[in-house]
Structure 1
Amino acid sequence: MTAKSPDGRRGGRTARSEDRRAEIVEAALAVLAERGYRGTTLGAVADRVGLTQQGLLHYFPTKEALLAAVLDASGQWDLTAAALRGTGWPLEMLASLVEYHATRPALVRTYTVLAADSVTARHPARAFFRRRYRRAREGGANALREEYGQRLAGGLTPERAAPLLAAVLDGLQLQWLLDPESVDMAVAFRDFLRLLDPGAADGTSPARTAGKGE
């Protein structure tokens, strides 16, 4: 009889299966980044982890199931979405996340490729990215409101500025992936924050003095 672990699972077999699934998901991230969803095959992913395609099907019966697992794990590689979810993080913390992403080009590439792919008709990740951007806009508006109040220096409300915040975050990642020698996305994002509040540097910011009272 196979011994069970304290939580009732069947010892090493379950642990090995979970490790193997995680390995497959990591390989899928790499293949998706290189080929996009349409160009990715289960056979290519299986080759990365030393399995036959039939062996991989034991863990993920379809390409859609594998993509779902990749998206489920997205909290580990799309930290910006997590940061903007809910009440939103301070903008300074978002700037720190941009710096962190600059150390993880493979993960940023996978996210960028999947997000671009998802705009095509009937793409299985389309609903996921629609939800992701909706939450990013909501969280971004909350973060901007916490920082600048009900009006930014240029007169925009946090809700009007939130799509711009999300666009800058993802747009800088794309430019950086294409030309990392010319684009420092961490510096550029901090420059963007200064545009949102041009008086912050000399203490004359109308958003900080008046916006929060509106």
Structure 2
Amino acid sequence: MVSGQREQILEAALEVLAARGFKGTSIDAVAERAGLTRQGVLHYFPSKKRLLLEILNFREQLHREHLADRRVGEDWAGDFAEAVAFEQDHPSLAAVHSVVLAEAVTGQEPAAGYVRERCCSLQDHLTASLVERYGQRLPSGLSAPTAAAAVLALVEGVHQLWLVDPEAHRYPQIVRETMSVLLGAETATTESQSPATKG
């Protein structure tokens, strides 16, 4: 099945990119990991740059599919906590994110362009959503743009921390509680309040 083979390639590429970074990743290495020929990979992804961008889109798609059963937006603190928990169950997703972020910081393309665009897009989208729900200022007293930047900084920082923290299971709850303060919502204090804190 075509779509199945395409996903197989993306899953293999996730693992290779997480381990080697963009410069260290080759079409041949991805093909070997996927059990395909080089031409088999190039049939779907004609360049390494195209493959990287598709990997990053695939990561976002997996997140959306995971949250599909939630009524996203009703409990933002829980939504973000669940997203962190999901990546903890799939560490290659977080590792790829960290690799791409590190390469973006050093100006390597296409990582730098992707991260710049994604950061601006996420902040703009979250700011607009906060304004729609709360107005220009949140119950916590923060302005919508400040809260949006703080939330994204929290999630980015947590990504880096739990990858090297032996007690990584606590981070979904940290995200939930901190976001509750940032947003001015009722703070969740027990793990039973969210499936994101299980495991």
Q: What's the TM-score once normalised by structure 1's chain length?
A: 0.70
Q: Which has the higher contact order (CA 8 A, sep 6+)?
A: 2
Aligned residue for 2:36, secondary structure, equals: coil
Q: Counterparts in 2 of 1:1-214, with a 5 A limit?
A: 15=1, 17-79=2-64, 89-90=73-74, 91-92=76-77, 93-145=79-131, 148-152=134-138, 155-181=141-167, 184-196=170-182, 200=186
User: CA offsets, 1:32-85, max 9 Å, x none?
Assistant: 111111111112111112234344334433211222322332332354xx99xx
> Residue by residue, what CA displacement relative to the aligned partner does 1:120-164 show, whole Å, maximum 9, x if unpaired?
335113322222111211232234445654324564311122111
TM-score by length of 2: 0.74
Structure showing the higher helix proportion among its residues: 2
Q: Which amino acid aligns with 1:140?
A: L
Q: Alpha-carbon deviations, 1:78-120, whole Å to 9, x = none?
A: 54xx99xxxx934233333333333222222222222332233
Amino acid at match of 2:29: A
Counterpart AA for 1:42: I
- Note closer, same or farther for the CA distance 1:150–1:65 as it changes in structure 2 (3 Å cut): closer
| CA distance, structure 2, for counterparts of residue 143 and residue 37 of structure 1 | 33
| Matches of 1:141 and 1:21, distance apart in 2 | 34
Whole-Å separation in 2 of the counterparts to 1:65 and 1:148: 39
Identity %: 36
Output the CA distance in 2 between the equivalents of 1:24 and 1:114. Answer: 18
In 1, are the aligned partners of 2:151 and 2:182 still within 8 Å (CA)? no
RMSD: 3.0
Residue deviations 1:165-199, cap 9 Å, x none?
Answer: 10101111110111142562111112312432678
**Number of matched pairs:** 181
